[in-house]
Amino acid sequence: MDGFGAAGDRWPSKPELAVFVSGVASMGLEILAGRMIAPQFGSSIYTWGSIIGVFLAALSYGYHRGGADAAVNASNRRMARLFLYTATYVAVLVFAGDLLLGWTATFPLPSRFASLPAVILLFGPPTYLLGFISPYAAELSRKDGLGRASGHVYAVGTVGSIVGAFATTFALIPALDVELIGLLFGLASVATAVVLVGPSLTDPPAIGSAAVALLLVLAATSGTLGVSVHGPVVYQTQTPYQELRVVETGDTRTLYLDGQPHSAMALDDPDRHVFEYTRYFHLPLLVTDDVDRVLFIGGGGFTGPKHFADEYDVTVDVVEIDPEVIDVAKRYFDVEESDRLRVHNADGRQFLRETNRTYDLIVLDAYRKDKVPFQLTTVEFMRLASDRLSDDGVLFANVISAPSGPGSEFYRAEYKTMSRVYPQVYSFRTASPGVVQNIGVVASKNRTRISKAELHARNDRRAIGIDLEDAIDTYSHTAKTDDVPVLRDDRAPVDSLLDSMAGQRYVVEQNRTNASADGTASAASD
């Protein structure tokens, strides 16, 4: 029976290797859990709280059961079996993770607890199994004294956890798909099992290792066949910020970020607005005059920036924090940089803080239904944006929320926050009032209120190349805000405001007409 090596041993003993790999795998799976759970349940504080809590509970129970069992059953062969069981479960995750996530999403739970069954089912069992390793290794230690043996086990396991956290966060997720990352953790577990029972390769655990390794490879291969619930996958990857997929259905190519549709392009007519809300980006041209410089915060598929750069005599800057999104936009959504369209890989707030440029229109298109960068929602950010706008400048925010009733808290809080900075705030919904949808919120530095009738009149006479009559019909310049907070840097409870939308269907209206301009139009002239 191998134990922890004595001081001066050159190589780690088998139990030391087992503890180290268990730390790498448990922490790596915890980071990976966030990426697997987010497309179905979002990545709010409730999701991450569930992940952390389940992993701690499963490890604790594994420590407890392993400690009670170690005095009788601790052996390298037993630890090898635990690693093989873990690898087998990881193969199930790789092969059927999406199916299990979809099934657990049907459980009738309050929205903030919705992700808990999925985390327990998908990650509880393998984490529990890995919890056995540390007490087994401590029992096998040759070090004198329980305290010294336990301390050494905790130190080695913690080092493994640190390696797992950093490697998964900074190397694996930016470079590999979820299936391949799961395959690596599974194969690492199998390899550790082989080392634990070596050098004989005829023992049952060694033979089982080959079978589990084959199962992992088959699961990973079948999990990357290029089909998602949304349609055939053209491209998919894990970026440092999100899961990204490009899906083609019929003649439409759609960008999905963490499972939510973000941008779409018609392959037979790339200039057509596929999603209705992208037409609303043009509403500010009816609110202000002489738009020459435009800033988009959030790129996605660059639908809005492309239209503005192609159709108007303006220059467009786009700030996108995720470099992979920029690359995908250029490869799959016909984005070409030019003197009129410049792309910046940066955080939107940092870009505004550091630039000395002034814009006539700032379009804020960085919100999602389940994940909103709070630093782009607060009154301090709104003041910063106002400082970077011209005297008659306009801020447009693409807010995803319900306009009233259940699920409207985030929209109403953002409306209230913007009203603290801008004299006039208008909103325009894209779907029926009671559903989660894209809401165009226009905030103007001009103190004169513009009526719906005046907007219709400007729509009739201004050559902006797109008819916005139906959008203007949803005009509103009031919102109920007495029960929602003003969002501030020191208190922006965005996650709790988004919570009421969990479980509600996000309605993205398809554009019914091809209303894009054929040539270059004046951006806002009567």
- CATH (domain of 455): 3.40.50.150
196 inside domain: yes
pTM of the predicted protein model: 0.75
Average pLDDT, the chain: 87
**What is the per-residue pLDDT for 203?**
62
In a domain, 280, yes or no: yes
Does residue 327 sit in the same domain as residue 395? yes
- Comparing CA positions, the residue from 140, 142, 164, 134 lying closest to residue 26 is 164
Query: In the β-sheet with 252-257, what is the strand arrangement from edge to edge?
Result: 227-228, 231-238, 243-249, 252-257, 260-266
259 within some domain:
no
Residues 41 and 185 in one domain: yes
List alpha helices for 312-356, DSSP H.
323-332, 348-354
Could you tell me if 31 and 98 lie in one domain? yes
Q: What whole-number distance in Å separates Cα of residue 123 and Cα of residue 33? A: 8
Place of tokens 């053209």: 234
d(Cα 495, Cα 492) in Å, to the nearest integer?
Answer: 8
Looking at residue 331, its pLDDT comes to 95
Region 459-477: mean pLDDT is: 92
> Which domain, by its residues, includes 116?
14-225
- Is residue 513 included in any domain, yes or no? no
The verdict on 375 and 307 lying in the same domain is yes
Q: Do 408 and 476 fall into the same domain?
A: yes
Q: Do 332 and 215 share a structural domain?
A: no
**Stretch 353-365: mean pLDDT, rounded?**
96
Which residue do the tokens 């393998």 mark?
126
Same domain, 37 and 110: yes
Which of 30-39, 135-144, 197-206, 391-400 shows the highest mean pLDDT?
391-400
pLDDT for residue 526 is more than 90: no
Instruction: Convert the pLDDT of each residue in 422-439 to its tens digit.
Output: 999 999 999 988 899 999
Report, as an integer, the average pLDDT of 49-54: 95
Least confident of 92-96, 191-195, 200-204, 229-233: 200-204
Q: Is the pLDDT of residue 518 over 50?
A: no
Of 127-131, 257-261, 511-515, minimum mean pLDDT range: 511-515
CATH code of residue 148:
1.20.1250
**Same structural domain for residues 193 and 340?**
no
Q: Are residues 287 and 220 in the same domain?
A: no
Poorest-pLDDT segment among 215-229, 483-497, 512-526: 512-526
Find the mean pLDDT for residues 298-320. Answer: 93
Q: Tell whether 464 is covered by a domain.
A: yes
For range 118-126, the mean pLDDT: 96
- pLDDT band, very low/low/confident/very high, at 41 (cuts 50, 70, 90): confident
* Whole-number Å distance between alpha carbons of 336 and 310: 11
Are 218 and 360 contained in the same domain? no
- The total number of structural domains that make up the chain: 2
Dihedral angle computed from the Cα positions of residues 1, 183, 178 and 47, in that order, rounded to the nearest 10 degrees: -30
Shared domain check, 180 and 125: yes
Largest separation between any pair of C-alpha atoms in the chain: 89
pLDDT category of residue 512 using cuts at 50, 70 and 90: low
Q: Is residue 308 part of a domain?
A: yes
Q: What is residue 522's predicted lDDT score, i.e. its pLDDT?
A: 39
Same domain, 179 and 278: no
- Encoded tokens for 250: 């019929």
Six-digit token string for 303: 């639908």
